[in-house]
């Protein structure tokens, strides 16, 4: 079991106090997972824009003792934006400061619709994968999927991130718990159409979109019976 693993949870407020006085956050959900599996630690901070994201990451969250880190970015998205910044600019900061971040979960609507939004962390440092959503998705439903993904990654062996088959298997273990036709998208798009997983595997110079291979592994019935898709 991994015992040198950190989740860096960087979140932008989802709603203002008038809309959501209790200030919903993904943090307590991941803390429940942390208490269930005593193999990783959570470090939390917030941001509002690109500059705030960089400060929270570079001056706070990356300064942990764990040698393995996963970054979770939680914020409203708009295709090319994360919170109040450009998606590519925000992820550029991961490329600059994420020397020990092996993977990134981008919990922001529509950011995964363009692969180019996700490339920069994969081209510079040791970050090996980025997971994001191609459509607008529901907050609670997507969080349940992310919890399952995080649980699978925590229990994965060291080195999984750079190995194509191991990464696909880790994500497939999590996603196979859900119906691929679950209407995750806000306009009814099925779960299988909402996800995007990009990896730069060991010895590869450029990132590869491995989403279709992930779908085939998690839900082989979609391959055997394409009319279900």
Q: The CATH number of the domain where 70 resides is what?
A: 3.40.50
d(CA 10, CA 46): 5
Query: CB-based contacts of 28: which residues, under 8 Å, 6+ apart?
Result: none
Of 138, 134, 144, which is closest to residue 14 (Cα–Cα)?
138
List the strands of the sheet with 208-209, edge to edge. 40-46, 5-11, 68-74, 101-107, 129-133, 195-199, 208-209
Q: What is the pTM of this model?
A: 0.94
> How much of the chain, in percent, has pLDDT values that exceed 70?
96
The pLDDT of 180-203, averaged and rounded, is 96
Radius of gyration for the alpha carbons in the chain, expressed in angstroms and rounded: 16
The predicted pLDDT at position 227 comes to: 52
| pLDDT bucket at 3, cuts 50 / 70 / 90 | low
Q: Are 111 and 79 in contact (CB under 8 A)?
A: yes
**What is the band of 117 on the pLDDT scale with cuts at 50, 70, 90?**
confident
Q: Sign of dihedral through CA atoms 151, 156, 162, 165?
A: negative
Residue-range definition of the domain harbouring residue 137? 5-228
DSSP three-state, residue 194: helix
Q: Which residues contact 73 (CB under 8 A, 6 or more apart)?
A: 10, 11, 53, 82, 90, 104, 105, 106, 107, 108
Q: Residue holding tokens 């691929």?
A: 180
Residues 32-57, mean pLDDT to the nearest whole number: 91
* pLDDT given at position 225: 62
Residue 1: the pLDDT is 43
Q: Which long-range contacts (CB under 8 A, 24 or more apart) does 180-183 make?
A: 180/215, 180/218, 180/219, 180/221, 180/222, 180/228, 180/229, 181/228, 182/141
What is the pLDDT at residue 57?
Answer: 93
| Confidence label for 185 from pLDDT (cuts 50, 70 and 90) | very high
Contact 170, 217 (CB under 8 A): no
User: Encoding tokens for residue 13?
Assistant: 């407020």
Helix (H, G, I), strand (E, B) or coil at 117: helix
Number of structural domains, the chain?
1
């Amino acid at each position: 079991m991994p015992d040198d693993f950190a989740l860096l949870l960087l979140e932008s407020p989802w709603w203002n106090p008038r809309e959501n006085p209790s200030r919903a956050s993904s943090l307590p959900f991941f803390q429940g997972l942390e208490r269930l599996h005593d193999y990783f630690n959570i470090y939390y901070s917030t941001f509002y824009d690109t500059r705030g994201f960089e400060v929270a990451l570079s001056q706070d969250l990356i300064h942990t003792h764990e040698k393995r880190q996963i970054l979770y970015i939680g914020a409203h998205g708009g295709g090319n934006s994360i919170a109040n910044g450009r998606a590519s600019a925000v992820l550029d900061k991961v490329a600059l400061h994420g020397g020990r971040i092996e993977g990134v979960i981008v919990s922001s609507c529509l950011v995964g619709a363009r692969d180019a939004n996700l490339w920069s962390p994969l081209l510079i440092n040791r970050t090996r994968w980025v997971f994001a959503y191609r459509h607008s998705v529901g907050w609670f439903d997507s969080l349940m999927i992310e919890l399952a993904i995080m649980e699978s990654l925590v229990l994965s062996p060291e080195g999984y991130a750079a190995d194509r088959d191991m990464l696909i298997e880790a994500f497939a273990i999590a996603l196979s718990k859900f119906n691929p036709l679950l209407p995750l998208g806000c306009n009814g798009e099925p779960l299988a159409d909402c996800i995007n997983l990009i990896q730069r595997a060991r010895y590869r110079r450029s990132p590869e979109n491995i989403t279709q291979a992930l779908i085939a592994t998690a839900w082989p019935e979609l391959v055997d019976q394409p009319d279900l898709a």
